[in-house]
Amino acid sequence: MSESTSIAREEPATSHQRRGQLWSRLVARKELGVFLALVVMCVFLSLATSNFLSSLNLLNVGRQVSLLGIMAVGMTFVLISGEIDLSVGSTYALSGLSSGMLIVMGWGLLPAVAAGLVIGVCIGLVNGVLSTYGRLPSLIATLGMMSIVRGVALLMTGGQPVTVNTRNGAIPEVLDRFEFMGQGYLFGIVPMQLVFFIVIAVIGWLLLSGTAFGFRVFAVGGSAKAARVSGINAERVKLWSFVIMGVLAALAGILSMAFLPSGQAGRTGLGLELDVIAAVVVGGASLSGGVGTVLGTVLGVLIIGVLRNGLVLLGVSPFTQEVMIGLVIIIAVAIDKWSTRSRSA
């Protein structure tokens, strides 16, 4: 048998092996399982209800998950870096209420929004400094900040609702542009909140998967000690992850105030941090750090949103909905822990 014939017979096997390796890598990705779960849910709801697949309902789902999704993108960076942030609900409230109060005081749109975002940056910086250079566990540091920031919001508002309208002093032109951020539609079809979510998700994906900073986030989350040996400043990477989280929580709070121009410090964003963490974990991120993607987070957010929307369409009571959402969270965390143990075994 000639050498050329032998090589020709080996090539199909090599090509087959490559296809098998590609399929194995694809199946091993957590995003595939999350995507399949989302598809199954959508198929079931499309058969069980008459209007789930209507464009109006799907756009409504997109709008409903947008604020959660914006914050979940930030939480993806924090969890992958091996930390956690419990102060996002309070940041959401303080930033949104602050921007609303400034607009009522006669500020322009850009200065008011910028002030709200700066508040998010400052809270993220404090969380990052306490959790890195302060050597405090991020669970404890951000738990304390959750209470502090909520208390500041209550002191700032006196516990009274903040309503943004012209009767309270807002400039009509500024109020119109502010409300467009939360209530408007791009091209008269796509909700602006959904537009913000898509833009943030794309930027987050590019930052995490296509930059040196994203590589460092994964390295630090996988092993902070090994990252330091490689010359990576683990503290700085974690600090920037908290800052990203703070900015995105602030942005979501501002958009929430723009959508419904009224809020109260004691109730706005209360318990929201649990939904954010749940969406990221459902999307495949590990609470142990080093694992996660923005794509998985987006899918996790959609699963939470579709599940809530489907339960409403099916007429399930709000109390039962909370039970079922809780079960989804427990199952997602359990799968994460079991898969982590199997990989380390």
Helix, strand, coil % in the chain, rounded to nearest 5: 75, 0, 20
pLDDT at 334: 72
Do the Cβ atoms of 60 and 195 come closer than 8 Å?
no
Q: pLDDT tens, 284-322?
A: 888 888 888 999 999 999 998 998 888 888 888 888 888
Distance CA 126, CA 132 (A): 10
**Angle (nearest 5°) at CA 186 between 180 and 187:** 130
Structure pTM? 0.87
Domain ranges of the chain: 65-270
Where residue 54 falls among pLDDT bands split at 50, 70, 90?
confident
Burial (CB count <10 Å: 0-12, 13-18, 19+), residue 313? middle
Cα(161)–Cα(164) distance, rounded to whole angstroms? 10
User: How large is the average pLDDT for residues 54-72?
Assistant: 92
**Is the distance from CB of 227 to CB of 98 less than 8 angstroms?**
no
pLDDT at position 24 over 50: no
Which secondary structure element, helix H or strand E, spans residue 186, and what is its range? strand 185-186
**Rounded-to-integer distance, Cα 174 and Cα 166, Å:** 10
pLDDT for res 138? 93
Who's near 243: CB < 8 A, 6+ residues apart? 121, 124, 125, 128
- Burial class of residue 136 in the structure, from the number of CB atoms within 10 Å of its CB (0-12 exposed, 13-18 middle, 19+ buried): middle
Contact call for residues 83 and 238 (beta carbons, < 8 A): yes
Query: What would the mean pLDDT of 161-182 be, rounded to a whole number?
Result: 91
**Which whole-number Å values give the CA distances from 230 to 24, 74, 117, 150, 220, in the listed order?**
30, 25, 33, 39, 10
Alpha-carbon separation of residue 335 from 226, 297, 322, 341 (angstroms): 27, 16, 20, 10
Between residues 12 and 97, which one has the greater pLDDT?
97
Of 65-79, 112-126, 214-228, 323-337, the poorest mean pLDDT is in: 323-337
pLDDT (average), residues 154-175? 91
pLDDT for 17 equals: 56
Per-residue pLDDT of 320-342, as tens digits, reads: 888 887 887 777 667 656 655 55
User: 287 vs 1, 82, 154, 245, CA distance in Å?
Assistant: 57, 7, 31, 16
327: its two tokens: 């079960």
